[in-house]
Amino acid sequence: MRSVKSKLHRYMFLLASLPLCAQTQSPMPLHLSQAIDLALKQNRSLHLAELSVTDNQHKKEAARSAYFPHITNSAAVHHITELAGVAIPAGAFGSPASTGPIPAKTLFLDQGSTTSYTSGTQLEQPFTQMFKIRESNRAATADVETAKVQLTQAENQIVLEVRKLYCNLLIAQLKLQAAQEQVEAGEVKHAEDLDAVAKGRALEVAALESQASLLEARHAVLVEKLALHDATLSLNDVLGLPLETPLEVDPDTSVIAMTVPTREECLRLARAKSPVILAAEQSVAKARAGLGAAKDAYIPDVTGLARYSYQSGIPLLVHNFGIFGFNFSYDLFDSGRRIADIRDARTVLDEAKVNLDKTLDEVDVQVESAYDTMEQSADLVKVAQEAVEVRTEAARLADRQFEQTEALASARSTAHANLASAKSSLAEATLGLSLAQANLKQTIGEMPR
């Protein structure tokens, strides 16, 4: 008796301490396809991945611009504190009797002026640098492709996350309904026990036991309400909706089922379409470009140029003049830097190749594991279906016995509550199978819509 009363007090305390999340706003009907479309349109993580693709495309455009001529302009103003000049002594050109010395006195001719102005527009076209530019463009292309692969991976991951949260919300709704039916059955049982105690057919401990069971059922209802609220918050966050938006998902679990290829076909598709494999392949391509650029560092830089300039204040030059020609530069000695760069690039390439091989094996393992999980989930669905069939027959027999006054109302209510729980378990197993199928499709690089 004492243990029953302590158990009763404990559950009463739990019921009082758990908050009730009342929804004053009408729920928003939501189907799985609508949820996926909302997430693909409004999810912030996908928006960031799209911006990453755009960013890398701009970087590729910047790398590509190095192929073409560059036109620059430079201007300067300089002031010189002292100028050199040409001194012509007196009589340097003779000393006729009629004129006297030529010149009559020493002359000093300045060269230019103390303040000079220059401005020039120059066109430069790289020639031998094209090899390095080509490798940098290959690396930029690899970055763009990697960003696109990551965007696809993010989309697949978001769709899978929406499926999980949608199923969690649906499971929470079904469990809440089953828990509410357990409460109704518990209320009928408790009323019968109270009547039996009042008529002397049972001890008071029976009523306390049924009351404790009723409180446990009510506690389960509150727990499922909290789970439903948490699932709603998580799904709203992924969909980009206001967090407190109440949702009502479609209870039909058949629309969530998916079709998947055979195990061998899944392994083949994963090798061809898995985002992690495609990203590893782009890393290899970028590493090859880095090695090519390191080798091209031995090629001299030859640049063609054409310049048109204006000057004022510089001696021996006209105001406007042009320059045409080539610039040649080459590092004769760099203390082994280019050799070290080549060795480092080869190491990076080897790392990328090893990572690609490792990724291929890991994806094979993930596909095998995901397929095993899917098959196990299918077996769980079969077991749950058999349990529903048994509970359905038990509820039918309880209805017949109640109609024939061979069973109490509590037995009938309990049978129907157990049937509701079995149906909830079947729905949960079905949704688990759907999630296993979706996880498999995401692993092989397909969108799990």
How many residues are listed for the chain in this entry?
449
Structure tokens at 211: 């009351």
pLDDT for 38-53, tens place per residue?
A: 999 988 889 999 999 9
Q: Does 6 have pLDDT greater than 70? A: no
Residue 78: which residues within 8 A CB-CB, separation 6 or more? 115, 116, 118, 313
Residue 298's pLDDT is what? Answer: 93
For residue 25, what pLDDT is reported? 67
Q: Does position 286 have pLDDT exceeding 80, yes or no?
A: yes
The answer, yes or no, to whether residue 322 has pLDDT greater than 60, is yes
Cβ atoms of residues 208 and 3 within 8 Å: no
Q: What is the predicted pLDDT for the residue at 66?
A: 93
pLDDT at 72 over 80: yes
Fold of 2-20+28-77+114-443: Outer membrane efflux proteins (OEP) (1.20.1600)
Higher pLDDT, 416 or 350: 350
Question: How would residue 2 be classed by pLDDT, with cut points 50, 70 and 90?
Answer: very low
Average pLDDT of the segment spanning 424-430: 87
Residue 364 has a pLDDT of 94
pTM assigned to the model: 0.76
| Assigned token pair, 261 | 């290829």
Separation of CA 33 from chain center: 20
Please check the confidence at residue 342 and state whether its pLDDT lies above 90.
yes
pLDDT digits (tens, 9 = 90+) for 191-226: 877 877 787 777 777 788 888 888 888 898 899 889
Give the pLDDT band (50/70/90) at residue 277.
very high
Confidence bin at 101 (pLDDT 50/70/90): confident
Mean pLDDT of 137-156: 94
The yes-or-no verdict on residue 449 having pLDDT over 90 is no
b (16+ CB within 10 A) / e for 195-233? ebbeeeebeeebbbbbbbbbbbbbbbbbbbbebbbebbe
Res. 156 pLDDT band, cuts 50 70 90: very high
What is the C-alpha to C-alpha distance for residues 143 and 56, in angstroms, rounded to an integer?
A: 6
pLDDT in tens, 225-263: 898 889 899 999 998 888 888 888 887 777 677 788 899
DSSP conformation letters of 349-375: HHHHHHHHHHHHHHHHHHHHHHHHHHH
Statement: residue 423 has pLDDT above 70: yes
* Average pLDDT of the segment spanning 413-432: 86
Domain boundaries, the chain: 2-20+28-77+114-443
Q: What whole-number distance in Å separates Cα of residue 31 and Cα of residue 18? A: 30
Structure tokens at 321: 């003049």
Decide which of 20 and 165 is more confident: 165
Mean pLDDT across the chain: 86
Label residue 89 by pLDDT band (50, 70, 90).
Answer: confident
